[in-house]
Amino acid sequence: MPRKFSNLETALLQHLDHLPERVEERLDEFVASALRVWYQTVGQQLEHNPFVELFQGRPLAECAPLIAVGFIMGTLYISFRLAFMPAMHLPLGSTSSVIFHSSFVLAVLSYERGVTVDPGFIPENWRKAENGRPRFELEGHRVFMYERKKKTRELRFCNKEMKFKPDRAHYCRITGRNILRMDHYCLYLANCVGYHNHKYFFLFLFYTLIATGTLDINVLSALYFHTHTAGHTFMMAQGAMCSTVIAGILGPFFSFHCWLMSHNMTTIEYCEKMRDKDESRPSEMGELRASQYDIGLLRNIQSVMGDNWMLWLLPISGPSGDGLQWGIAEQKKSEAASEATSAATSAVTSAASSAATSAASSAAAAFPADLPARADDEHGSEAAAETNASTREDPQSSTQWSAATDLWAAFSALAAQTRHCVVQNRRCPSFVAPSSVIDAGHALHEMCGDMAVYLENKARASGILQPQPQQPQPGLVQSVVPKQRPSTSSSEA
């Protein structure tokens, strides 16, 4: 008898040793069959869903905040729809129900758009060309950029993405690329808040506050003035607690973003100003509060919510434009009087000298001095010789020619910038009356430099101009000379 009992015990222990493996195998088979059935029924329809495509291959830690947001919003909806409305015998068309359901649906739609819409990326033609400038300049395009490197005043360049950075663009280490008009990385959106989805993020905060405020007021008043069943009381108390916490957190946060929008400022730019504020003198505090992109309250709102005010509260249309160029406010940060005077004086002097040199070299290359000597027509040769002699005798003509060239360059640059502002539907900063002659000269120098780069790239792309052999200095525009024309007769010339 003891021997039989020991054998039974041994067999039972062996069976228990293999039991976890068998249970695991059965569970694996059950899960595989359930997933197979789910994919054949629902999975094929969700295969091309934006959420599935967006989070496919991403770690679970990035998807967990979205699950938490869905759980919280589900708790709020169940508390209002399945607890408060039956307890108070409210119809679906009541005022509280309409406000809550409309704001809740719009909040969900805004949240979905904020998660799925790409915030904006830098195009490929912003990579560095062989001449060290962006590729889009070789294609004939021109972008006016205000932000430069503080020390060298050159264009900002991202060494991680190997692209030039437009104004208000910043690199996000989580997404691994630059974001246009980056505000911040939102953990609960699992996405950056940038140029194209900033409106949906703002609307999500707005409608969530309305929904939680409506639930808070109605549920708390119902709990205070009425008696309900235990189930309804527990569900309403849970919803009221969640809505109170959410409203208390989102209220100040939403107010802060309203202030940022009214000043056309992002969270990153605000933090940078606060950092500069700590490093600056007390007399410069007022200047740091203003944003260089502040172009008026209405225009500031349009830069985020869109041009059509009738669509501001609907998550269906974003701002117009490409997010690469921005209007600059007329009032910029003032510098010290001595620094401004020296910088403006050197800028105007260099602009005038470079324009005169370029004009003289272009005229000499386009019309060689020995052209009349190669002419076949004797009368044409004599007339050309007399003209050259009179020109050499009158040194004032070269000065007039240089002045005319400078004037033409200034008006050409002004016309180019005006056309850019008209296309972008923005005010042109050049038309604002300068505060001094120094500011006017500095602005004119910047316009001439931009126009020179634009004309140079257009001419090089068409094969009309060729670069000079000498290397240009850093930060300066490389001057060009026309190709030499073949010798022709005076009549053909």
At how many degrees (to 10) do helices 297-305 and 198-225 cross? 90
Q: Which two tokens stand for residue 141?
A: 């395009």
> What confidence tier does 244 reach under pLDDT thresholds 50, 70, 90?
very high
Q: Which two tokens stand for residue 6?
A: 């020991």
pLDDT in tens, 213-240: 999 999 999 999 998 999 999 999 999 9
Please tell me the distance from the alpha carbon of residue 81 to that of residue 94, in angstroms, as a whole number. 12
Quote the mean pLDDT of the chain.
Answer: 75
pLDDT in tens, 133-188: 899 888 888 777 888 887 787 889 999 999 999 999 999 999 899 999 999 999 99
CB-based contacts of 480: which residues, under 8 Å, 6+ apart? Answer: 456, 459, 460, 465, 466, 467, 468
pLDDT of amino acid 300: 94
- Asked whether the beta carbons of 205 and 212 are under 8 A apart, the reply is no
Q: Among the listed ranges 108-117, 246-255, 301-310, 425-434, which one has the minimum average pLDDT value?
A: 425-434
- Res 466 pLDDT > 80: no
| Average confidence (pLDDT) over 51-80 | 86
pLDDT in tens, 329-386: 544 444 333 444 454 445 445 554 554 455 445 444 443 433 333 334 444 444 444 4
Domain ranges of the chain: 115-311
pLDDT of amino acid 24: 82
| Range among 16-25, 263-272, 346-355, 472-481 rated most confident | 263-272
- Asked whether the beta carbons of 428 and 386 are under 8 A apart, the reply is no
Please tell me the distance from the alpha carbon of residue 207 to that of residue 311, in angstroms, as a whole number. 15
pTM: 0.63
